[in-house]
């Protein structure tokens, strides 16, 4: 009887009312474990989204700072290598000492995610000699890079070297800086030598005063001895 009433209730309508409609209830996790809400992404996708950190201004500043630090290291090591050219192993010949002696490293710029080092050099001589020096450096860049790798063993990768002639203002600024450093060193050496001379003069004066005091003490002792001897007589 109850089933018949429910069967007729589905089609029973009243004036102003819509027919009763029944929809399938949403399956719960107990009845259907395969059901996933379409508007909710999977947990793995959420974790990947939250782990992804876009590169901001801080990351760019850190990269620039790292590039600058690496460029300074490369510059320092190249200067030492060119000062001692006998450590350069050139394939098929010896090192051209005339060219190496007139080359000065001005600046190093890191490019290509620190894989390429643009080396700005200043050379002496005529324009033809300057071009020849830069050409020789680029032809033997692999040998120079090998020598650089021997001195930078604590680094995983050594950048590729590309030499180019520095502009005149850059070369002049570096030369003026070197002259300033040399003048400061000479001033410090002169000051140290002057202080040494002053110290020697002070020591001589103090020694003379000590000798005079010793002489005065000996004369006083002699006078006291003579006076005591006369009294006893």
Residue with tokens 């089933």: 3
- Same domain for 157 and 108, yes or no, is yes
Q: What is the pLDDT along the chain (233 residues), one digit of tens a residue?
A: 555 555 555 454 555 545 544 445 545 444 444 544 555 545 444 344 334 445 555 556 667 788 888 989 999 999 998 888 887 887 767 778 888 888 888 889 998 888 999 999 988 888 888 899 999 999 999 999 999 999 888 888 899 999 998 876 555 556 666 667 777 777 777 776 665 666 666 666 566 666 665 665 555 555 554 555 454 54
The four Cα atoms 22, 24, 29, 33 give a dihedral, to 10 degrees, of 180
pLDDT at residue 38, as a whole number: 52
**N- to C-terminal Cα separation, the chain:** 166
pLDDT at residue 117, as a whole number: 93
Q: What is the DSSP string of 177-200?
A: HHHHHHHHHHHHHHHHHHHHHHHH
Indicate the DSSP class of residue 15: T
Distance CA(190)–CA(196), nearest Å, equals 10
Note whether residue 58 is domain-resident: no
- Same domain for 147 and 172, yes or no, is no
pLDDT at residue 116, as a whole number: 92
Q: For residue 123, how many other CB atoms are within 10 A of its CB? A: 20
Q: Is the pTM of this model over 0.85?
A: no
- Same domain for 151 and 208, yes or no, is no
| 3-class SS of residue 166 | coil
Note whether residue 25 is domain-resident: no
Structure tokens at 228: 């005591």
Number of domains in the chain: 2
Distance CA(137)–CA(131), nearest Å, equals 10
Structure tokens at 212: 């005079």
- Same domain for 88 and 161, yes or no, is yes
CATH number at residue 92: 3.30.300.20
pLDDT at residue 218, as a whole number: 58
Note whether residue 187 is domain-resident: yes
- Same domain for 108 and 144, yes or no, is yes
Distance CA(188)–CA(194), nearest Å, equals 10
Q: For residue 170, how many other CB atoms are within 10 A of its CB? A: 14
């Amino acid at each position: 009887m109850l089933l018949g009433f429910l069967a007729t209730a589905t089609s029973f309508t009243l004036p102003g009312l819509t027919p009763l409609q029944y929809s399938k209830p949403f399956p719960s996790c107990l009845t259907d474990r395969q059901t996933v809400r379409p508007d909710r992404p999977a947990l793995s996708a959420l974790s990947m989204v939250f782990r992804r950190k876009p590169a901001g201004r801080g990351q760019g500043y850190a990269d620039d700072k790292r590039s600058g630090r690496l460029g300074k290291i490369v510059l320092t090591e190249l200067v030492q290598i060119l000062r001692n050219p006998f450590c350069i192993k050139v394939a098929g010949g010896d090192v051209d000492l005339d060219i190496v002696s007139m080359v000065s490293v001005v600046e190093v710029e890191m490019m290509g995610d620190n894989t390429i080092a643009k080396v700005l050099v200043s050379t002496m001589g005529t324009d033809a000699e300057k071009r020849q020096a830069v050409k020789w450096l680029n032809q033997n860049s692999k040998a120079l890079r090998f020598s650089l790798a021997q001195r930078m063993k604590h680094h995983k990768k050594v950048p590729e070297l590309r030499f180019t002639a520095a502009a005149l203002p850059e070369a002049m600024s570096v030369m003026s800086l070197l002259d300033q450093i040399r003048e400061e060193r000479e001033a410090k050496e002169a000051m140290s030598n002057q202080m040494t001379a002053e110290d020697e003069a002070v020591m001589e004066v103090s020694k003379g005063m000590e000798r005079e005091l010793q002489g005065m003490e000996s004369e006083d002792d002699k006078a006291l001895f003579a006076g005591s001897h006369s009294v006893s007589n």
